[in-house]
A and B are shown apart, each in its own frame.
Chain A
Amino acid sequence: METNRDDFIIAIRSAFLKKGTKQRFSLIVLLFFSITILTLSKYNFKGISFLKSGLNEIVYRASFIISAPENFVVNTYKLTMSHINLYDDHKKLKKDFKALKAENLSNNFIISENIMLKSKIGDIVDISSEILAKVLVDKQSPFLKSIIVNKGSKDKVKLGMAVLDGDFLIGKVVEVNYLTSRVLLLSDLNSKVPVSVEPNSVQSILTGTGEKFGKLQYTQLESFDLNNGDQVYTSGSGGIFKSGIPVGEINIIDESKESYVLFHSNFSQLRLVKIVLYENIN
């Protein structure tokens, strides 16, 4: 029994301390380094922030280059599939276009009426800066959903700016480097956005699930009626985003009355995005 314990201790000690002929450092030294870096990054130590910022600039570019062959294969596959589905897509788009054309006419009237009414209560929010950015890295890990874009503090990107794919909200800037930035997607578990569900103007918080769907929380469903197909827009609460940016639509309401929102934008297809800052013009 005593011998077994001794063997275990010798094997463990050797694993941690023994360097080996081809190694420069023992594992215990490197583990100590890693834990030190981790602890300092927890307390936002300045040196670690500089190290991280420097690493970010190099690694994001390197990752973009290294991912090129894989991206080429994936893009070729998608291109081939889109060619195969061309005829069906064309038929569907033609039908959608007719419907949207009619809708657009009535929308124009509502928009101008809305602007006029908002100006009366001094709530006109406008885009004060808009930056077009290219997605460098969209390697969304199974745990964290984020993308890296090729615009940073050099291009006046700031923390918290909204990121859009066309007119649809996809996330916000959570990390800014000199030449690049990280965007936390709405699908990430850590993302929380105040939203309004139309047509009943139900106020809620949209949280990510790590999947293609978001989940509505804090809606007090007993008193509100939500249905499949209801549109979800930003509510503007909290002042981070302006109100009325389209996010998605309610797709599933399960038995426990949890509502899931299908995002308008496909986060795995992002190539170019808009980083925008909304400010009250008054």
Chain B
Amino acid sequence: MSLTKLPFSRKLLSLGPIILLYVSVLNEFDFNYLNLKYFSFNFPYILIFYWSLKGEGRLSYVLVFLAGLINDVVIGLPLGISSVTYLFICVFAVYLRNITLRVSLIKDWFFFLFTILVINSIFYSILVVFFNVKIDYYNLLFNVLYTFLFYYFFSYIFGYYLNLLRRTND
């Protein structure tokens, strides 16, 4: 019997995206120590979008909501703002899933760019207008750019993982 066919391994595999989401919001993969100016990307955005789009309901919205609250606490943002942005990403991904007839990575990729541009606009507006928190606009723009670029890379890794999950469930 292969290791991935064991009930515990199967459970662990199916929880993989959620575990990764929680590790990433608690750990904040920021790469600050690399001292690269403006380099940052939002890994939770990539993960939530991909798994809401392709994950066939494996990513629980309640857990995404809680991950948002945790992210706010770790970064020090007003409580609830990350939950709003994460859930809006889910809305966009589900909308794309509903209207997609023929799957194309390039289409998904550019729809992801549109999504994060809208989401970050909401995020920026709420922080600046309602909470008077100053944010470096260039940082935010570069964050969008790198998040967009990394989506393509991570979609291959997640795609491989998703196939593994499907095979273990067969």
User: A residues within 8 Å of B by Cβ?
Assistant: 7-8, 10-12, 14-16, 18, 20-27, 30-31, 33-38, 41-42, 48, 51-52, 55-56, 59-60, 62-63, 66-67, 70, 74, 77-78, 137, 139-144, 146, 175, 182, 189-190, 209-211, 268
Across the interface, which residues of B come within 8 angstroms of A144, CB to CB? 75-77, 133
Query: Which chain B residue lies CB-closest to A182?
Result: B76
Across the interface, which residues of A come within 8 angstroms of B78, CB to CB? 38, 41-42
- Contact (Cβ within 8 A) B130 A42: yes
Q: CB of B117 within 8 A of chain A?
A: no
Across the interface, which residues of A come within 8 angstroms of B13, CB to CB? none
- Contact (Cβ within 8 A) A143 B95: no
Across the interface, which residues of A come within 8 angstroms of B136, CB to CB? 142-143, 189, 209-210
Assembled-state Cα–Cα distance A219/B62 (Å) = 50
Given that A11-B95, A63-B27, A142-B30 are contacting pairs, would A30 and B83 also be in contact in the complex, using a CB cutoff of 8 Å? yes
Assembled-state Cα–Cα distance A242/B69 (Å) = 37
Across the interface, which residues of B come within 8 angstroms of A22, CB to CB? 57-58, 60
Assembled-state Cα–Cα distance A18/B94 (Å) = 10
Given that A25-B61, A27-B61, A56-B73 are contacting pairs, would A34 and B95 also be in contact in the complex, using a CB cutoff of 8 Å? no
Assembled-state Cα–Cα distance A16/B32 (Å) = 36
- Contact (Cβ within 8 A) B87 A143: no
Across the interface, which residues of B come within 8 angstroms of A20, CB to CB? 57
Given that A15-B95, A66-B26 are contacting pairs, would A31 and B88 also be in contact in the complex, using a CB cutoff of 8 Å? yes
Question: Per-residue CB proximity of B16-45 to A under 8 Å, as 1/0?
Answer: 000000010011111011010110100000
Q: Which of A24, A34, A209 is the one whose CB lies under 8 Å from B83?
A: A34
Across the interface, which residues of B come within 8 angstroms of A77, CB to CB? 33
- The tally of CB-CB contacts under 8 A between chains A and B is 150
- Contact (Cβ within 8 A) A41 B90: no
- Contact (Cβ within 8 A) B80 A34: yes
Across the interface, which residues of B come within 8 angstroms of A38, CB to CB? 78-81, 83-84, 126
Query: Which chain B residue lies CB-closest to A184?
Result: B76
Across the interface, which residues of B come within 8 angstroms of A42, CB to CB? 78, 130-131
Query: Which chain A residue lies CB-closest to B146?
Result: A142
Given that A55-B73, A59-B70, A210-B136 are contacting pairs, would A41 and B26 also be in contact in the complex, using a CB cutoff of 8 Å? no
Q: CB of B157 within 8 A of chain A?
A: no
Across the interface, which residues of A come within 8 angstroms of B62, CB to CB? 23-25, 30
- Contact (Cβ within 8 A) B60 A23: yes
Assembled-state Cα–Cα distance A144/B91 (Å) = 27
Instruction: Enumerate 26 A-B pairs (CB-CB under 8 Å) in ascending A order.
Output: A14-B98, A16-B91, A22-B60, A23-B60, A23-B62, A25-B62, A30-B65, A31-B84, A31-B87, A31-B88, A34-B84, A35-B80, A63-B27, A70-B29, A74-B33, A78-B33, A139-B30, A139-B32, A141-B28, A141-B40, A142-B30, A142-B40, A144-B133, A146-B76, A190-B134, A268-B32
- Contact (Cβ within 8 A) B95 A51: no
Q: Which of A8, A137, A190 is the one whose CB lies under 8 Å from B74?
A: A137
Across the interface, which residues of A come within 8 angstroms of B69, CB to CB? 37, 55
Q: How far is the CB of A2 from chain B (nearest CB, A)?
A: 17
Across the interface, which residues of B come within 8 angstroms of A146, CB to CB? 76
Across the interface, which residues of A come within 8 angstroms of B95, CB to CB? 11-12, 15
- Contact (Cβ within 8 A) A51 B133: no
Query: Which chain B residue lies CB-closest to A59?
Result: B73
Q: How far is the CB of B54 from chain A (nearest CB, A)?
A: 14
Q: CB of B139 within 8 A of chain A?
A: yes
Assembled-state Cα–Cα distance A211/B36 (Å) = 11
Across the interface, which residues of B come within 8 angstroms of A8, CB to CB? 99
Query: Which chain A residue lies CB-closest to B55?
Result: A22
Query: Which chain B residue lies CB-closest to A64?
Result: B26
